[in-house]
Amino acid sequence: MANSYDSKAIEVLSGLDPVKKRPGMYTDTNNPNHLIQEVLDNSVDEALSGYCSSIKVSIMKDGFIQVVDDGRGMPVDIHPDHKVSGVELIMCKLHAGAKFSGDEYNFSGGLHGVGVSVVNALSDELEVHIRRDSKEHSITFNNGDKKKELHQIGEVGARNSGTTIKFKPNPKYFETTEVQINHLKHLLKAKAVLCPGLTIDFFYEKKSERLRWFYEDGLKGYLSESSDGVELILQDSILCSKSSEAQEVEFVLNWASRPLKDRLNETYVNLIPTAQGGSHLNGFKSGLLEAVKEFCDYRNLLPKGLKINAEDVISNAYFVVSSKLQNPQFAGQIKERLDSKDHASFVSTITKDALSIWFNTNTGEGEKIAELAISSAQIRAKASRVVERKKTFKGPALPGKLSDCNSEDLNETELFLVEGDSAGGSAKQARERSFQAIMPLRGKILNTWDLESAEIIKSQEIKNLSTAIGVMPGNDDISSLRYGKICILADADSDGLHIATLLCALFLRHYRPLVQQGRIYVSMPPLYRIDCGKDVAYALDDEQREVIVSNLKSKKGKPKINIQRFKGLGEMNPSQLRETVMDPQSRQLVCLSISSSDNANSLMDLLLSKKRAPDRKEWLEKKGALAEIK
């Protein structure tokens, strides 16, 4: 095995090779639906800018997929710097597009300039036909490589312009090349709804199915159609649309009279569906909550001591939120969640102002909405009574073997999530009962990174944890939080690090407000205890141990040094545990934090996402030898 590492070992991926090497970083490799969306988004961007009124999507029997629009057509002239045609640059080079400057497109979904080139890289065959300036041109690619040069194939009418992209996904990059037709139809319908005046035609050759969507009244008609047969509280749904120079938001809102499992609750950014929500949804929920609370306070509707949260207000709601931004920041390339922080406050302010006016002019219907929220809050409060903080003199044990503290002051309370009953027993003896609580966890928790919040609560361990901290996963309202600090306390070995990673993933994905407020901490337990006479020191790792030993050896005489390696927290006695990880005066805690500039989501994807298993394997094959065996 070669051990040398020099410049020759450095590999530079060019062109579309990065996509072919790691397709999971650029698209959803379960099926080709996301490839269709990338092509579609380019056509929709033309429609958003007023240049396109018709899009046609066809799924052929032979595996080909075709998207046709009547926009301006991709550029066919030669780029002054790269010396190739505009269409070739778009199809063959990552991060090439007309959407970075904002000059050509005010709002666009294809922000990163990688979408359609990814489609090209992951297709067996791809053919582009461009109608522009009364001429029709064609260019063909195989597996991302140019097969036929751009050439003119005919003439068209002066008003006949647009782009046709026909491609066949390469099966080696996807679990299946079968298109999920129902998901695609839902997407196409939503695009037509969100872009009034745009006609979208769909043809599914296998079943000879043809559909057309065209909405003149946009969101309001969509909600009405989607809630057909449902008893809605408001006769006329609330519709709001506001814009500024760089962003805008439009939403439609109504409430069902009773809880329903399948209800309309969709969010979009520049017409791209954001399945995991993000800033726009958070802002919408925040503004909605503030408006309802203000209405309840003004009319004295809230029972004494009852607090409503965003989930109480939105639990029965039917809504669609459509945001448009000049520079949206998404959590990943497939754009499932919006991370543009400033947009949340914009949406919140617009939502709160619009709904405050509506509540004050529709007091009768407003009181019905308030009653729904109050009823939900009362049910939640009743359910939470079974997990009220246990007093020292009475009450049953809380879920998850929680040993609670006495204080209820968030400024001082701490919850330690401890690995196993053995360490939990020592931690209970080591803690300061007045403000420190202990909750032992049973081994490795569920990997929640790829899962929805509603799904993970089915795990008993996570349900117990959620009950203990007082906040359900995915809930942006953390007013019911029971502890000011939540500390992950796991062994310093590889198993402990794995458990800590899984818990960090849980909080990053499903309890992000807690992370953003700096309430999640990772304890740093020592791996070694070093005794030298009356001196006692602790080391987190081998390097720190060597420094401590070296300093002790430099003392006069020849002191006898005794080194103890801890196998785990359960091996520490309570006094050692108190001194090293629980006493605020001597412990080491690291606050879990995130910022818009780091790559936390990408890193956690590589570590934990099922879709990234091939990438992990490749990383281990290349980097595994760098790990030290201890």
Catalytic residues: 419, 491, 493, 495
Is the CA virtual torsion 59, 163, 187, 199 positive or negative?
Answer: negative
Coil, strand or helix: which one is 308? Answer: coil
User: Chain-centre distance of CA 616, in angstroms?
Assistant: 20
Burial class (CB in 10 A: 0-12, 13-18, 19+), 362: middle
Helix, strand, coil shares of the chain as percentages rounded to 5?
A: 40, 20, 40
State both tokens at 365. Answer: 């219907």
Whole-angstrom distance, CA of residue 121 vs CA of residue 170? 9
State both tokens at 68. Answer: 């046709």
Whole-angstrom distance, CA of residue 341 vs CA of residue 280? 9
Could you tell me how many helices (H) and strands (E) the chain has, helices first? 19, 21
Inter-CA distances, 215 with 54, 196, 264, Å: 12, 5, 17
Q: Provide the CB-side half-sphere exposure for 60 (13 A, CA).
A: 11
State both tokens at 259. Answer: 């809880």
Whole-angstrom distance, CA of residue 101 vs CA of residue 277? 26
The sheet with strand 135-142 has its strands ordered as 145-155, 135-142, 123-132, 162-169, 65-69, 54-59, 199-204, 209-213
Burial class (CB in 10 A: 0-12, 13-18, 19+), 424: buried
For 63, other C-beta atoms within 10 Å of its C-beta total 16
Residues with Cβ within 8 Å of residue 180, at least 6 apart in sequence: 31, 33
Look-up: residue for tokens 């956690």? 604
Q: Provide the CB-side half-sphere exposure for 144 (13 A, CA).
A: 21
Interstrand relation of 238-243 and 162-169 (parallel, antiparallel or unpaired): unpaired
Whole-angstrom distance, CA of residue 605 vs CA of residue 26? 12
Q: What would you report as the CA-atom Rg of the chain, rounded to the nearest whole angstrom?
A: 29
Inter-CA distances, 139 with 66, 132, 402, 527, Å: 15, 14, 66, 62
User: Chain-centre distance of CA 81, in angstroms?
Assistant: 37
Whole-angstrom distance, CA of residue 492 vs CA of residue 526? 7
Inter-CA distances, 344 with 56, 191, 279, 311, 389, Å: 34, 23, 5, 17, 34
Whole-angstrom distance, CA of residue 560 vs CA of residue 535? 11
Helix axes 341-361, 363-384, angle to 10 degrees: 120
